[in-house]
Structure 1
Amino acid sequence: MHDLVIRAGTVVDGTGSPGRTADVAISDGVVTDVGRINERARQVIDADGALVTPGFVDVHTHYDGQATWDPLLSPSCWHGVTSVVMGNCGVGFAPVAPDRHEWLIGLMEGVEDIPGAALSEGIQWGWESFPEYLDTIEGQRRVVDVGTQVPHGAVRAFVMGERGARNEPATAADIEAMAEIVRRGIEAGALGFSTSRTLAHRAIDGEPVPGTFAAEDELFGIGSVLGELQTGVFELAPAGVLGEDLAAPDKEVDWMRRLAAATGRPVTFALTQNNADPGAWRRQLDLAAEAAAEGVPLRPQVHGRTVSILLGFSTFHPFNFT
């Protein structure tokens, strides 16, 4: 007898095969059979008219604060998501100096419109280093799996203080220190490193996030850690996503491609369309395809749906985009 049989659903297994009507049997938490199942089960779910799929992996989330207190990570868990990746776009909550707690909250609130009051109340700040943050995440009970990346904004501010927060150029010593923090984070279990270069991402005070104007020596200096360790991804929101610089999309792909080639590690970036240059996304996609054909792991993050932003006077974003 099976523990569970899901009957008559449209099974889409994630391999690229067409969906098909089938039953799915589960015992001891493991899928044991897919097809026509006649055996009895302790529990039966009638999935006629519904899709039956593996759990979805959401590679771009911002649960960095919520993951420290919420075992559900809603709303993702309500929609078939069983694994999430956070620490995207260079924003997150580690490493952090004791006097930078509210500053990092303001960074996340500005970029992602997550209420700062909720973050201030929910985050207990039982860490300073990135490995300590991972320990905090590991200690939480939860219904979905989580992975995270080392965020550039937090690292820059931790190493450079106000110079980093104000986007001043990094010195060689700064870059070495940031690279070491990223190294320790990845060795402790981080999935990679993330940054943001778009003017769409601003802190609650309206300032561009740390790393927006980082020079190539900083980006490649930190990215080289991934190559040395031969693990981890380099994720970013590239410049030009709002159409603020029409030359940016092509320039961004150029250095991202060179970084991926130099390190041998995946560089993944948000692929978006803007009104100022509606065809830029196609050029970036074609350039990424050319890179892939040469064995260079340059991978756009393509949205599965139209992306929208809820605008209102109670949010920061209406003023952010003026």
Structure 2
Amino acid sequence: VGGDRHGKGDGMAHDLVIRGGTVVDGTGAPGWTGDVAVDGDRIVEVGRVDGPGRREIDADGQVVTPGFVDIHTHLDAQLAWDPIASSSCWHGVTSVVLGNCGVTFAPVADGGAEFLAEMMESVEDIPARSILDGLSWNWSTYGEYLDEVETLPKGVNVGGMVGHCAVRVAAMGERSLDEEPAGPEDIAAMVPMVEEAMEAGALGFSTSRTFLHRVPDGRYVPGTHATADELLAFAGVLADHQGAVFEAAAKLGGRNDPEGRFTREEIGMYGDISRLAGCPVTFGLTQVDIVPDMHLRVLDFV
């Protein structure tokens, strides 16, 4: 919303008044009928707004809320050609988080763009050709990627997490896809990349451990088989950054057994990560037809 800010007391109109909507303010309070006044880019009054607005919206029968935050998106490339971030923006979303599931476009080594783009296509069904053509790829670190995002025209607020897949590929190359654990020297190469990303403004770190995520040749994405030691090394980085988050596409319900070893070990490891990092660990739960209550049974471990 544009325009100069004017106080109600000076007799001048607000830039925008939204009138008569059901206001749900995000505090947990029940919705109530009221008005919202906006001057410039700030909400200046909520309640009964007596003064006029240069622009007025009749919100009778509508719900008026703060913008929603879409915490799990894969808009990392799409923002380059779709500044309004559809379809998130169609549902009241005003802030989006990139970099989920460990799949990001930075850090990237020389010649690594094609692999990262093809991995995103394989995991999220976003065409690699569009990714390669739509992005400038004039970065190597995650901080430089964030600088590029900053230059893009955007209709939403944007933040991002640095992805384990990209970090592992940049540090280990083809070996990043192996099932063998990363060695001490590999972890020593990856940790500074995560440190750089966090210092540059990343919201946190993400990883993929689910067997559903594969690269085009059928192998699991880098990091799927990462040991607890590797992930705890990254948790140590997050510990130095208040407000960070650790996100995972989790390895849960192995062989459709929510009480099995895979699930118990996975949840236990996330507890260790959360305690070391001093931050939340987030992961999605999905309902599967063969065990329709599996997501509920997994929650019993959390």
User: TM-score, length-normalised on structure 2?
Assistant: 0.90
Structure 1 residue 159 and structure 2 residue 182: aligned?
Answer: no
Structure-2 change in CA distance of 1:58 and 1:243 (3 Å): farther
Matches within 5 A, 1:233-272: 233-240=245-252, 244=256, 246=258, 247=260, 248-272=262-286
Structure-2 change in CA distance of 1:231 and 1:46 (3 Å): closer
**Structure 1 CA distance, aligned partners of 2:27 and 2:149?**
31
Structure 1 residue 14 and structure 2 residue 19: aligned?
Answer: no
Structure-2 change in CA distance of 1:71 and 1:242 (3 Å): farther
Contact (CA 8 Å) 1:150, 1:182: kept in 2 or not? yes
Structure 1 residue 110 and structure 2 residue 153: aligned?
Answer: no
**Structure 1 CA distance, aligned partners of 2:212 and 2:175?**
21
Runs of 4+ off more than 6 Å? none
Instruction: Give the AA of the match of 1:263.
Output: A
Give the alignment partner of residue 287 of structure 2, picking from 240, 262, 273.
273
2:56 maps to which residue?
A: 44
Instruction: Give the AA of the match of 2:233.
Output: G
Q: CA deviation at 1:110?
A: 0.9
Q: Once the two structures are superposed, what CA deviation does each residue of 1:89-110 show, in whole Å capped at 9, x if it has no partner? A: 0001001112111111111011
SS at match of 1:98: coil
Structure-2 change in CA distance of 1:105 and 1:267 (3 Å): same
Q: CA deviation at 1:287?
A: 3.3
1:188 maps to which residue?
A: 200
Contact (CA 8 Å) 2:245, 2:280: kept in 1 or not? yes
Structure-2 change in CA distance of 1:243 and 1:44 (3 Å): farther
**Structure 2 CA distance, aligned partners of 1:238 and 1:231?**
21
Structure-2 change in CA distance of 1:147 and 1:164 (3 Å): same
Q: CA deviation at 1:70?
A: 3.2
Structure 1 residue 119 and structure 2 residue 145: aligned?
Answer: no
Gaps of at least 5 residues in structure 2 are 1-12
**Structure 1 CA distance, aligned partners of 2:149 and 2:170?**
20
Structure 1 residue 70 and structure 2 residue 82: aligned?
Answer: yes
Instruction: Give the AA of the match of 1:275.
Output: D
Deviates more, 1:202-211 or 1:67-76: 67-76
Work out the number of aligned pairs and report it: 288
Give the alignment partner of residue 88 of structure 1, picking from 91, 94, 100.
100
Instruction: Give the AA of the match of 1:99.
Output: G
SS at match of 1:64: coil
Contact (CA 8 Å) 1:91, 1:154: kept in 2 or not? yes
Instruction: Give the AA of the match of 1:4.
Output: L
Overall identity of the aligned pairs, in %: 51
Q: CA deviation at 1:245?
A: 5.7
Give the alignment partner of residue 232 of structure 2, picking from 213, 220, 225.
220
Contact (CA 8 Å) 2:19, 2:58: kept in 1 or not? yes
Gaps of at least 5 residues in structure 1 are 289-322
Q: CA deviation at 1:244?
A: 5.0
SS at match of 1:228: coil
Q: Once the two structures are superposed, what CA deviation does each residue of 1:155-205 show, in whole Å capped at 9, x if it has no partner? A: 000000000033432000111111111011000100010001101111233
Q: CA deviation at 1:207?
A: 1.8
Q: Once the two structures are superposed, what CA deviation does each residue of 1:287-317 show, in whole Å capped at 9, x if it has no partner? A: 33xxxxxxxxxxxxxxxxxxxxxxxxxxxxx
Q: CA deviation at 1:4?
A: 0.9
**Structure 1 CA distance, aligned partners of 2:192 and 2:114?**
25
**Structure 2 CA distance, aligned partners of 1:96 and 1:139?**
19
2:113 maps to which residue?
A: 101
User: TM-score, length-normalised on structure 1?
Assistant: 0.84
Contact (CA 8 Å) 1:69, 1:140: kept in 2 or not? no
Give the CA RMSD over aligned residues. 1.7
